[in-house]
Structure 1
Amino acid sequence: MSDNQALAALQELIEVVAKLRSPDGGCPWDLEQTPQSLTPYVIEEAYEVVDAIQRGNQEAIAEELGDLLLQVVLQAQIASEAGHFTLKEVAQGIAKKLIRRHPHVFGDVTVNSMDEIKQNWESIKAEEKGEEKQTLSKKLRSYQRTLPPLAGAMKISQKAAISGFEWENVNEVWAKVDEELAELKHALAEETPERQQAELGDLLFAIVQIGRWYNIDPSAGLQGTNQRLIQRIEKMEAVVDRPLSDYSLEELDALWQQAKAQLAKGE
């Protein structure tokens, strides 16, 4: 597809969305939407794009990217109607940002490694946002507000470690995990639900630190566990003649082990 064809296709989408939002013959559902009411769809579509990419389904990737693009265009359309900004400003803004943050491509900066590229990016980003004058707590607060909990914990711990909040070795991290596990067990036995929740959070945060030290993504790890659980249940359901809830615990365990073995063999 040529650049002109791509621009024409994008223009068609813009016009379709504008028509859906038109008080004269538009869609009642689209007309009543606000930036806030559409927020869940932005998150949902982003996750569906990630799922399609992980599955390697090119047709699904194209479809889900379209759904995500719709959310971008729709947000810009609503903002334009209110006189805040337009899709043109959105596109121009990100283009200018990319140019600023890639001085080794669009400027005369020379880099010798990926680390230097990352350092330049973070330095320019911090300067843009005025983060160089921000306190550490304000920087961390922004990650807590804008990222999902597991991803936020990883980012917060990474930035805190850079600022000196770091263990001397991984054995100390393992000791922290053991400490938090013991505190959770104590809370579950003797303390309030609020304390129990707090201690569970502390344990999860400590486990995230293990992931950071070993360069393992905790979000991806948990997603993989969820997927394996579903696959095993699918295998179990494929060989039974009644709902799984009708089976005893011993029977379910046998079916589980059989499904686990089948998946391990690639069956």
Structure 2
Amino acid sequence: MVSDPTLAALADLIAVVARLRDPEGGCPWDLEQTHASLVPYVLEEAHEVADAIRRGDDRHLAEELGDLLLQVVLHAQIAAEERRFDLKGIAEGLGAKLVRRHPHVFAGAEATDSAAVKASWEAIKAQEAAERQGSAAADPLPSPLSDRLAGKVRGQPALAGAMTISRKAAAAGFEWEAMAGVWEKVHEELEELKEAVASGDRVHAQEELGDVLFTLVNVARWCGLDPEEGLAGTNRRFLERFSRVEAALGGDLQGRSIRELEQHWQQAKAAIRAEAQAEQPGADPTA
């Protein structure tokens, strides 16, 4: 019998998921799921966790962390049914990895600041990768940067992966001499996108769109900005303004002229800006 309340709750969750996957009386939807079919849900739940963190909403964050935990338990259950691995093995592997990658905590090594911790972490990861590939003894040279980056960004969203590639490539010396070169590249890629769209070649246009986005990520890196946070903020602002436009028009946007919609859009922007200024300490509510 589990005495720790947290462990007891986790045991209950594992039992619930196992019941959902029980061929005799389980949930038809859960029984149909595979690792591959659940990929969109893993990504969706991770993004919803991030959104709750950005909002500072503890209730929402606790709920979304639960949904993300469900994905971990469900994947472990599917693998256990196929006798490949289970949640116990996942937890043991994670615990061992954390101990191995924190020698300054568990093995008496020195790490005076977070930068030293990060450097040690990356060195240990690289050593582990070499050992897994069986190349540590045969080839003492490190893997090419492109190979390491390919593995690093494989599981990242495209925007985050682009920033990782940009940072690592720049650190290796693949970098513009000045910000002017970055802006020149932005304009170059934008013109190529326009030409590709005009040509009607959708595949080419898709490639050029990616080039524009990747170059804008480089702009973000040069300016010390976070493209993910920037786009998330734009999404929130758009939805807030759009909701006010909908409210002003009674929820009916059909048949409205672009001029009318733009007028309501600007009014929504102004109202939101005024409300934000009024909420600032010391603000003059009559200003």
TM over 0.5: same fold?
Answer: yes
**Distance apart, 1:9 and its partner CA:** 0.4
**Distance apart, 1:242 and its partner CA:** 5.5
Greater helix share, structure number: 1
**Distance apart, 1:209 and its partner CA:** 0.3
**Equivalent in 169, 172, 196 of residue 178 of structure 2:** 169
- Trace 1:133-148 onto structure 2 (pairs within 5 A): 133-148=142-157
Alignment partner, residue 68 of structure 2: 68
> Structure 1 residues 96, 171: closer, same or farther in 2, change over 3 A?
same
Greater RCO (CA < 8 Å, at least 6 residues apart): 1
Secondary structure, counterpart of 1:26 in structure 2:
coil
What is the distance in 2 between the residues matched to 1:242 and 1:36? 38
1:184 aligns with 2:193: yes
RMSD of equivalent CA atoms: 2.1
**Distance apart, 1:196 and its partner CA:** 2.3
What is the distance in 1 between the residues matched to 2:209 and 2:33? 37
Alignment partner, residue 102 of structure 1: 102
The TM-score with structure 2 as length reference comes to 0.86
Secondary structure, counterpart of 1:246 in structure 2:
coil
What is the distance in 2 between the residues matched to 1:94 and 1:59? 27
Q: 1:193-221 deviations in whole A, cap 9, x for unaligned?
A: 33222222211111100111122111211
Secondary structure, counterpart of 2:4 in structure 1:
helix
1:258 aligns with 2:267: yes
Secondary structure, counterpart of 2:50 in structure 1:
helix
Q: 1:210-246 deviations in whole A, cap 9, x for unaligned?
A: 1111221112111111111111111112222361223
Report the AA paired with residue 150 of structure 2. Answer: R
> Structure 1 residues 185, 25: closer, same or farther in 2, change over 3 A?
closer
Identity of aligned residues (%): 52
1:199 aligns with 2:208: yes
Moved >4 Å (runs of 4+): none
What is the distance in 2 between the residues matched to 1:74 and 1:190? 46
Report the AA paired with residue 34 of structure 1. Answer: T
1:143 and 1:156 in contact (8 A); partners too: no
Alignment partner, residue 160 of structure 1: 169
